[in-house]
């Protein structure tokens, strides 16, 4: 093997697969504003969207046309959560808090 070819082979091996020096930080997922805008267009007075991010942490998005609509929706959601909490606890009275 010639010295040039040997040197080229070493460079090829050395440079052919660069290693990632730093891990790329991934941005946390958020529901795109375009989807939230479409959701708002499809509702009468507003919405509450509850989902989880990639870590399992809850994310809440909401948008309402008025404070009255917001209060009404949150009041209904609290009742729904209490009902579901009761159902999940085997029909208990639902007075236990769902979260700390």
pLDDT tens sequence across 41-75:
999 899 999 999 888 999 999 999 999 999 999 99
Q: Classify the C-alpha dihedral 44-50-53-59 as positive or negative.
A: positive
Tokens of 8: 């080229």
Mean pLDDT score, 18-27: 65
pLDDT of residue 90: 87
Report pLDDT digits (tens) over 74-94.
999 999 999 999 999 987 554
- What does the alpha-carbon distance between residue 36 and residue 32 come to, in Å, rounded to a whole number? 7
E-strand ranges in the chain read 46-52, 58-64
Sort strands 58-64 and 46-52 into parallel, antiparallel or unpaired. Answer: antiparallel
Are 54 and 29 in contact by the 8 Å Cβ rule? The answer is yes
pLDDT at 18 over 50: yes
CA 31/CA 21 separation, integer angstroms: 30
């Amino acid at each position: 093997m010639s010295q040039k070819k040997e040197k080229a082979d070493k460079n090829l091996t050395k440079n052919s697969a660069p290693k990632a020096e730093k891990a790329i930080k991934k941005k946390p997922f958020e529901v795109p504003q375009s989807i939230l805008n479409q959701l708002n267009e499809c509702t009468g007075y507003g919405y509450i969207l509850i989902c989880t991010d990639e870590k399992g942490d809850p994310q809440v998005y909401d948008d309402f046309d008025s404070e009255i609509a917001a209060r009404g929706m949150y009041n209904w959601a609290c009742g729904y959560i209490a009902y579901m909490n009761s159902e999940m606890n085997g029909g208990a009275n639902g007075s236990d808090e769902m979260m700390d």
